[in-house]
Amino acid sequence: MEEKLQRLKTLLAESADLAHAAALLEWDQQVNMPEGGTRSRSEQLSTLQRLAHERFTADEVGQLLEDLQPYAEQLDPDSMDARLLYVTGRDYKKRTKVPASLVAEFTETASRAQQVWARARANDDFAAFAPHLQRIVELRREYAALFAPYDHVYDALLDDFEPGVKTADVQAVFDALRPQQVELIKAIGERPQVDDSFLYGKFDEQRQWDFGVEVLTKVGYDWKRGRQDKSAHPFTTSFGNDDVRITTRVDTGFFNSAFFATLHEGGHALYEQGIADEFSRTPLQNAASLAFHESQSRMWENLVGRSRPFWEYFFPRLQEVFPAQFGNLSLDAFYKGINKVEPSLIRVEADEATYNLHIMLRLEIEIGLMDGSMQVKDLPEIWNTRMREYLGVVPPNDAQGVLQDVHWSGGMIGYFSTYALGNVISAQLWEKILEDIPDLDEQMRQGKFDALLAWVREKIHRHGAKYEPKDLLQRVTGSAMDPAPYMRYLKSKFGEIYGL
């Protein structure tokens, strides 16, 4: 059995290597590649993803999994090998339903669409992107149909990012959150607004970049195993936990954009860098789910990076970096300014109280596209109408509306809900963290983040995809997904800021 297990691991490693090579080309496409390289890069990615898929779904892999089943039943169910065989079997069963030709076509289509999206966004030209999005939707429907029967056509896509989670589960969480968040936003809107004008002005690009690097270094990002570059939309990618890269974008007229995007992507990268080495080149070398991934990025961005203790340490340094903008500003004014609640157009720059409403809008559109109740050509109008209904703001153009996110151009339909679920999980984890590290606020005031990083490394990061998200959350917090801690966090924080 040991020989067969090693053979399986060899095949899995080869598939992982091909997938990582494709990820490297995707990173280069968004960071360095000249615009004219789109056709060749799309073909290269299509080939690599097809080969990775074929290697993973080979008959030999299926036979080895079948032969190793009696061995797996004798193992400690929590052991690496037992979990590896379970996760590989689960993924194999799902991926063998997908023809390699569909994988290749989808990869090539998405690669081309991302370049078209970047131009369409820059030119405020939804019509140029619409045919590409239409084809992506068609391919996603074709993909989902492979997993019928299902409770909902969207379940198959959601499961790719949140194993074991159903559309109904997400809708239940959102239904619990929506009225409470709307009520909170309404209450805040009746209070005097805080001033954040100092966040707008002229902020030197290099100084913003260097300050972000300084903060990432302090919280534990390992630059020997990572780097940061610029891209149209911030993202994190991993080619193994020894090469985890992030990107950001810099707005010289608004401080928040680059800094909080950098901290957000740094949270993703810390997760990837913390996955156990023994999981390298296996299906376990992934996060438990995208919601867990997002819980880490949102934790570092918001629960840490928008907290008062964090800035008690970093604000004096920021005043040195930007003396003209912040030199005469009080810490209290800065803290309130970066936490200003105001309905806005751009998801990645939305405050914590309104952010989930941006996600709910996107989830409804994705479900509509998949079940056929919405059409691609109508998305700008649908987007603008629901932005007015949910947030009371209407984009002046599609670049700041339906074109603002990169995800659909990359085919990532099924992804968006994980952002809001990540917020929910982050608050559940945070309550547990504060139980286990009661002096965490004081540690952050002193610029010490070692204990916090060690906690998430031990409880979450190192496990990679060993456990399904529902199981991991239960193990760490003792409960299922629960919106209550997130609402307690929002009401406490913004109640103090706005005097509710």
Amino acid present at 65: L
Total Cβ atoms within 10 A of residue 316 = 11
* Phi, psi angles (nearest 5°) of residue 12: -65, -40
Distance CA 460, CA 480 (A): 16
Q: What is the pLDDT along the chain (500 residues), one digit of tens a residue?
A: 889 999 999 999 999 999 999 999 999 999 999 989 988 998 999 999 999 999 999 999 999 999 999 999 999 999 999 999 999 999 999 999 999 899 989 999 998 999 899 999 999 999 999 999 999 999 999 999 999 999 999 999 999 999 989 999 999 999 999 999 989 999 999 999 999 999 999 999 999 999 999 999 999 999 999 999 999 889 999 999 899 999 999 999 999 999 999 999 999 999 999 999 999 999 999 999 999 999 999 999 999 999 999 999 999 999 999 999 999 999 999 999 999 999 999 888 889 999 999 999 999 999 999 999 999 999 999 999 999 988 989 999 999 999 999 899 999 999 899 999 999 999 999 999 999 999 999 999 999 999 999 999 999 999 999 999 999 999 999 999 999 999 999 999 999 999 98
Question: What pLDDT was estimated at residue 290?
Answer: 93
Residues 6+ positions from 206 with CB-CB distance below 8 Å:
none
Question: What pLDDT was estimated at residue 164?
Answer: 87
Exposure of 104 in the CB half-sphere (CA atoms within 13 A): 10
| 355: exposed, middle or buried (Cβ count in 10 Å: 0-12, 13-18, 19+) | buried
Q: What sign for the dihedral angle of Cα 394, 395, 396, 402?
A: negative
| Closest CA relative to residue 169, chosen from 156, 179, 155 | 155
Total Cβ atoms within 10 A of residue 498 = 21
Distance CA 89, CA 95 (A): 10
Distance CA 415, CA 165 (A): 12
Q: Fill in the DSSP letter of residue 479.
A: S
Contact 149, 137 (CB under 8 A): no
Residues 6+ positions from 190 with CB-CB distance below 8 Å:
none
Question: What pLDDT was estimated at residue 375?
Answer: 97
| Closest CA relative to residue 255, chosen from 303, 196, 195, 314 | 196
List alpha helices for 75-166, DSSP H: 80-95, 100-123, 126-145, 155-161
Catalytic residue, chosen from 26, 162, 265, 468, is: 265
Contact 257, 263 (CB under 8 A): no
Question: What pLDDT was estimated at residue 19?
Answer: 95
Report the side by side order of strands in the sheet with 244-248. 226-230, 244-248, 236-238
Place of tokens 């995208």: 290
3-state per-residue secondary structure call for 388-432: HHHHCCCCCCCCCCCCCCCHHHHCCCCCCHHHHHHHHHHHHHHHH
Distance CA 116, CA 232 (A): 13
All structural domains of the chain with their residue ranges: 2-146, 167-498
Amino acid present at 242: D
Distance CA 409, CA 116 (A): 8
Does the N-terminal peptide bond of residue 380 adopt cis geometry, omega within 30 degrees of 0? no
Distance CA 258, CA 246 (A): 12
To the query of whether residue 265 is one of the catalytic residues in this protein, the response is yes
Contact 73, 17 (CB under 8 A): no
* Phi, psi angles (nearest 5°) of residue 126: -60, -35
Residues 6+ positions from 365 with CB-CB distance below 8 Å:
374, 379, 382, 383, 386
- What CATH topology corresponds to 167-498? Neurolysin; domain 3 (1.10.1370)
* Phi, psi angles (nearest 5°) of residue 236: -125, 140
CA distances, 55 to each of 3, 94, 108 (Å): 19, 14, 19
Residues in the chain: 500
